[in-house]
């Protein structure tokens, strides 16, 4: 998938809790992603700098074939909604402009996450967008509502017959206040539905009525964003984006049971799993002499970006994975980009520990290797999830390990559905 160029400074401080059997995934602390040039050169700017901002906005205008999207943000914007919308639309290939309605580019979102916009809303008044979409949150929705420039942009968007949308509190607080919910059905956050001036409300997660698409809240943001992708690019692109891209590297000596279980369950969950051989040929021979053929060589797979990289164990397979330069680079980039990675059996120690990818993390591994883990705090757990790291003990825990990944990628409901298909009790 293409790189995500959202400038975000996350200030998250959470305690990581562990269950002796299954350790739940908590937000990784002190994450920072400043991939956008605006972030690296960030200086506090006031609204008086609108002329320079306008020049910047025009200079970054994409080619006509690209879809242009405006996502405004303000103090108190719901960060999950904003980031999911921006992430998914950029993955689809849209040129997304994140515009602050405040005097500065940096805003403090509803749960104290600091987000840096690409530009100020004042630079976008003369721009034409294929889609204008408002994240919710309070008082973020009110801050959007109070922006006269955004109000004008959104009204013109609707009058010109172009797409617009809002989620959570924003349909009520902003769109309704601007008179843009007349004679249309909408869905909103349950806590705000009573404030609508009309009675044209529905309770679906996402609802589209003519040009307007609305949604209920953070938990429906992914579905909402995918609906917007479908409207901009078509159903095929939406389905492509929905599929999580997973890399499973294999080598001669990899534990075939672990590899096959991981691949099988993730594919049942509709993930796009790429099996990559680190050998010179696609065919590899597992630790129990089972022969199987990978989809790609690791060098060919290295050009993509993955939502999840997961390593099977087995010896000497783990040692061969550890020696792969291409895989080592992919794993380091995965960790630096705060994307999910993990391993089972011998690989947490032989590969991840060796490459310094378990530093400050709790993990587990096959019992005969777990004593080599620097942090012994969770070595007896079947599956350990610490931030973006997931590890497990061996072949007997591979099903639970795989379903835990499905749970974290797609939610518990999909994990339960997959478990029913393989007749496994997952709760």
Burial class (CB in 10 A: 0-12, 13-18, 19+), 51: exposed
CB-side neighbour CA atoms (13 Å) of 257: 11
Measured from the Cβ of residue 225, the count of other Cβ atoms closer than 10 Å reads 28
The tokens for 226 are 């995918």
* Structural contact between residues 33 and 134, judged by C-beta atoms closer than 8 angstroms: no
Three-state DSSP at 247 gives strand
Q: How large is the angle between the packed helices 256-268 and 412-421, nearest 10 degrees?
A: 120
Rg (CA), the chain: 23
Mutual angle of helices 79-91 and 221-233, in 10-degree steps: 30
**Token pair for 373:** 């883990």
**Structure tokens that stand for 97 in this block:** 């402009």
Task: Tell me which residue of 331, 368, 370 sits closest to 352, measured CA to CA.
Answer: 331
Q: How far apart are CA 237 and CA 54, in angstroms?
A: 31
**98 Cβ neighbours under 8 A, 6+ residues apart:** 6, 7, 71, 72, 73, 82, 86, 115, 117, 118, 119
* CA pair distance 212, 183, nearest whole angstrom: 11
For 62, the token pair is 């994409």
**β-bridge mates for residue 273, sequence order:** 246
Judge whether 345 counts as a catalytic residue: yes
DSSP 124: G
- Active site amino acids: 345
């Amino acid at each position: 998938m293409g790189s995500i160029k959202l400038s975000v400074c996350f200030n998250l401080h959470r305690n990581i809790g562990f269950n002796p059997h299954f350790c739940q995934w908590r937000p990784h602390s002190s994450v920072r992603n400043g991939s956008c040039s605006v972030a690296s050169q960030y200086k506090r700017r006031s609204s008086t700098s609108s002329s320079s901002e306008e020049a910047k906005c025009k200079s970054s205008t994409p080619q006509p074939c690209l879809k242009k999207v405006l996502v405004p943000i303000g103090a108190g914007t719901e960060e999950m909604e904003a980031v999911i919308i921006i992430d998914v639309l950029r993955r689809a290939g849209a040129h997304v402009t994140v515009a602050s309605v405040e005097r500065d580019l940096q805003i403090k979102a509803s749960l104290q996450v600091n987000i840096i916009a690409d530009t100020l809303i004042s630079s976008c008044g003369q721009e034409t967008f294929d889609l204008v979409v408002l994240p919710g949150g309070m008082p973020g929705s009110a801050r959007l509502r109070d922006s006269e420039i955004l109000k004008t942009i959104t009204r013109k968007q609707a009058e010109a017959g172009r797409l617009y949308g809002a989620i959570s509190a924003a349909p009520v607080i902003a769109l309704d206040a601007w008179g843009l919910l007349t004679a249309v059905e909408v869905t909103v956050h349950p806590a705000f539905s009573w404030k609508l001036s009309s009675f044209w409300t529905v309770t679906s997660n996402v609802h589209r009525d003519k040009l307007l698409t609305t949604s209920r809240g953070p938990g429906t943001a992914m579905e909402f964003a995918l609906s917007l992708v479908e409207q901009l690019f078509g159903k095929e692109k939406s389905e492509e984006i929905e599929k999580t891209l997973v890399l499973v590297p294999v080598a001669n000596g990899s534990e075939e049971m672990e590899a096959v279980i991981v691949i099988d369950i993730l594919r049942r969950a509709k993930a796009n799993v790429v099996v990559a051989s680190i050998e010179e040929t696609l065919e590899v021979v597992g630790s129990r002499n089972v022969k199987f053929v990978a989809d790609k060589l690791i060098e060919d797979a290295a050009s993509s970006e993955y939502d999840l990289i997961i390593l099977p164990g087995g010896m000497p397979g783990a040692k061969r994975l550890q020696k792969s330069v291409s895989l080592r680079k992919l794993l380091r980039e995965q960790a630096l980009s705060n994307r999910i990675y993990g391993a089972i059996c011998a690989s947490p120690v032989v590969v991840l520990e060796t490459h310094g990818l378990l530093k400050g993390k709790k993990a587990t591994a096959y019992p005969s290797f777990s004593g080599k883990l620097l942090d012994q705090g969770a070595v007896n757990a079947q599956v350990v999830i610490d931030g973006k790291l997931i590890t497990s003990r061996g072949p007997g825990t591979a099903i639970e390990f795989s379903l835990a990944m499905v749970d974290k990628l797609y939610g518990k409901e999909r994990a339960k559905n997959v478990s029913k298909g393989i007749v496994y009790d997952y709760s």
